[in-house]
Amino acid sequence: MTAPPVLELRDLRKVFPVKGSFGRVTGEVRAVDGVSLTIPQGQVYGLAGESGSGKSTIARMIMGLAEPTSGDILLDGVSILGRQASLAHRQRVQMVFQNPGASLNPRRTVGQSIRVPLDAHGASGDRRRRVGDLLDMVQLPRHFADRYPHELSGGQKQRVAIARALAVEPRLLVLDEPTSALDVSVQARVIELLESLVADLGLTYLFISHDLSLMRNFAQTVGVLYLGKIVETGPVAQVFRAPQHDYTRLLLASVPVISAEEEAMRPVIPLINGEIPTAEDLLALREQANLKEAKT
């Protein structure tokens, strides 16, 4: 029998009510509109899409920070939804957020921050040594355990956030724009670190970014999210070489070309004329339609 995928999303949906004046519900936003995907163990799935396409809403539902309207989320073949889902099971998913500054407590040293999940999970053994090992893993000096967040650079803070996420030995890391707040050069080094960790630790990632170029050398599979739906998915090389959806082409068109090898992977299909409406455009249109309806 083959092992189930580490993560499986089945027809996942999240609908938010849209409130007008006086808090009246005037419509709804289908932030996530029937998303299904699977990530086998050891693989990286790159979820791309522009602002408002529903990326973080998917991440929040996987983390249990938002309740799906419908659909299911399975971790190692077992649903993490519903009351029967155990806390221990849920905690096998950890998340790294976009803003490393906001995710660390400014009054805690790096060591204390990393120790929080160890204490919460009643980890056995020498905590100080374990913190040191985790700092090694993210390529920070061990004496950083005594530093405070304000003494660290953005890239260093993000390494601490990664160390903390790794502390409980998760099965899956959900990385929601983990490098978009960092300088380009720092970004590349954090991506390198994430790449080496996924290989060394047998981890599995859901890597979320509006930037498709980050996924080219990193993910095995990409999915392109547009208005809450995956409009295109496939092996990364295939999606880069022959994108099928206009929106994917638009995302790829903004990818800078670096090497001849990568030049060969540039989409051959020309960009469509005219612009694809953004999620915000469509929302504004919907709002206008709602207003009209309310008046008539």
Ligand X SMILES: Nc1ncnc2c1ncn2[C@@H]1O[C@H](COP(=O)(O)OP(=O)(O)OP(=O)(O)O)[C@@H](O)[C@H]1O
Binds ligand X by CB under 6 A, chosen from 7, 8, 56, 163: 56
- Alpha-carbon distance 197 to 166, whole Å? 10
**Closer CB to ligand X, residue 55 or residue 157?**
55
**Closer CB to Mg ion, residue 56 or residue 94?**
56
Stretch that binds ligand X, among 48-56, 102-110, 111-119, 148-156 (CB under 6 A): 48-56
Structure tokens at 161: 């956030």
Measured in whole angstroms, how far is the alpha carbon of residue 264 from the centre of its chain? 28
Cα torsion angle, 110, 200, 63, 88, sign: negative
Taking the complex as a whole, the smallest distance from the CB of residue 225 to ligand X amounts, in Å, to: 7
Residue owning tokens 């392109």: 224
Would you count residue 159 as binding ligand X (CB under 6 A)? no
Cα torsion angle, 194, 199, 201, 203, sign: positive
Taking the complex as a whole, the smallest distance from the CB of residue 54 to ligand X amounts, in Å, to: 4
Tell me how many helices (H) and strands (E) the chain has.
10, 10
User: Is 109 in a helix, a strand, or coil?
Assistant: coil
Burial of 36 (0-12, 13-18, 19+ CB in 10 A): middle
- Alpha-carbon distance 237 to 265, whole Å? 7
From residue 256 to residue 285, the character string flagging contacts with ligand X as x (rule: CB under 6 A) and all else as - is: -----------------------x------
Would you count residue 56 as binding Mg ion (CB under 5 A)? yes
Of Mg ion, ligand X, none, which one sits near residue 210, judging by CB under 5 to 8 A according to partner kind?
ligand X
- Alpha-carbon distance 58 to 114, whole Å? 26
**Closer CB to ligand X, residue 94 or residue 98?**
98
Binds ligand X by CB under 6 A, chosen from 5, 46, 54, 170: 54
Would you count residue 51 as binding ligand X (CB under 6 A)? yes
**Closer CB to ligand X, residue 31 or residue 212?**
31
Indicate the residue type of 35: V
Would you count residue 210 as binding ligand X (CB under 6 A)? yes
List interacting residues with ligand X (CB under 6 A).
Answer: 16, 29, 31, 49, 51-57, 210, 279
- The site for Mg ion (CB under 5 A) is made up of 55-56
